[in-house]
Structure 1
Amino acid sequence: MIDSIPPVVPAGRMRELAQPELALSGGMLLRPWTPYDAPTLVAAHADPDIRHWNRPSRLDLAGAEARIARWHERWQAEKAGTWAIAPEGGGAVGLVGLADIDLAGGSGEILYWLLPAGRGTGITVKAADRLARWAFDDLGLHRVRITHSVANPASCAVATKAGFPLEGTMRGALLHADGWHDEHLHARLRTDATP
């Protein structure tokens, strides 16, 4: 009989780490969401593009504050980490997160969205790359993936530029308001070269 395989990242590792601020170039950073960001979250959940590609439910201010509180609880439960993309000292212009975390298996999935004010700046590429480097170097994951609808070429470009090669297409993988979408699967390994 073979001994069981030890976990890639031991349980408790993420909870032991304070959710960090991660610097990006150009005076931008990734930081934990705060209750002061609730109005931005309400606006994001009303944005047609964010609603189409990310399928969020509509939120009021109280719902946004509760969602932010749940994100902090999910960090402590080692299930997910959610960061605001923001200028230093400023309000959030987007979100990047590490979800579906499997510490024992050493994997997770990056997700992101950006409000219109931040679009076209390349900041999402920097955010996805920076979060992947944190997931590998500080948390200790082995594999991080990004999935998106094949009908969303902007998200495909973000994933590719952030160093996540396209691995394939998952057929009928996600239900959107306009029907089932095939999804691209991109992934990056800890051993891959940094883009």
Structure 2
Amino acid sequence: MTIVLQVPGAGSVSALLMRPWRSDDLPALVAAHRDPELRRWLNTSLTDEAQARHWLDRQATGWATATRFSFAVVADTDDRSPRGLVAVTVGTAGSAEVGYWTAGHARGQGVAARALETVSQWALGAQDIVPLTHLDLCHAVANQASCRVAVRCGYALRDLLPAAPPAYPDIGHRHVRTT
């Protein structure tokens, strides 16, 4: 299954495309994961090409089984290297968890919010692919940028999550968006 979503631009902001990850994204994926700010918030960091290749294989499996829809966010220009990620991981009883990150060179351009909004609308409207009624978005309380993106995209703060080391060493927020 291949799904490509378009995110329109506005004013001087360029349009984006969201598509499944590909093997030729590997160098950009490894480069993005070298960013200390990104690694600070991820519970899994890719440190070399072998790990990145394994990660890409898991994303392809997620698409094939309709259990995880991991989109590479790319500029809708000649340079279509990844600017970020938005992923929807299907849970149970009509729920899914969304996650996202933005590569260092693309931060501050509205990439995360525009991509998250587009994927959220798609996920809640893709009843023929996977019937979802609500999306959960979790982030560390200290990650204020993620909190702003969540709120901007209509995710209401629902719960304060306790720390769960080692994967989640800090307390977190759980935001929810429903159909």
Match of residue 109 from structure 2:
121
Match of residue 13 from structure 1:
none
Can you list the C-alpha shifts for 1:159-186, whole angstroms capped at 9, x where unaligned?
000110111211214546xx82111010
1:60 counterpart letter in structure 2: D
Contact persistence 2:38–2:104 (CA under 8 A)? no
How many residues are matched?
169
Match of residue 153 from structure 2:
162
2:155 counterpart letter in structure 1: F
Gaps of 5+ in 2: 10-14
Match of residue 8 from structure 2:
25
Within 5 Å, give how 1:77-88 maps onto structure 2.
77-88=65-76
1:20 counterpart letter in structure 2: I
Q: CA deviation at 1:49?
A: 1.2
SS for the counterpart of 1:141 is coil
Deviates more, 1:156-165 or 1:129-138: 129-138
Gaps of 5+ in 1: 1-17, 191-195
Match of residue 132 from structure 1:
120
Contact persistence 2:69–2:88 (CA under 8 A)? yes
Match of residue 69 from structure 1:
57
Larger Rg: 1
Contact persistence 1:45–1:56 (CA under 8 A)? no
Cα RMSD for the two superposed structures: 1.6
CA 1:173/1:163 → structure 2, altered by over 3 Å: closer, same or farther? farther
Q: 1:40 aligns with which of 28, 33, 40?
A: 28
Q: TM-score, normalised by structure 2?
A: 0.88
Q: CA deviation at 1:55?
A: 2.4
Q: CA deviation at 1:61?
A: 2.1
Q: 2:83 aligns with which of 85, 93, 110?
A: 93
Match of residue 12 from structure 2:
none
Q: CA deviation at 1:136?
A: 1.0
Contact persistence 1:169–1:182 (CA under 8 A)? yes
Match of residue 6 from structure 1:
none
2:169 is the alignment partner of 1:186:
no
CA 1:86/1:59 → structure 2, altered by over 3 Å: closer, same or farther? same
SS for the counterpart of 2:171 is strand
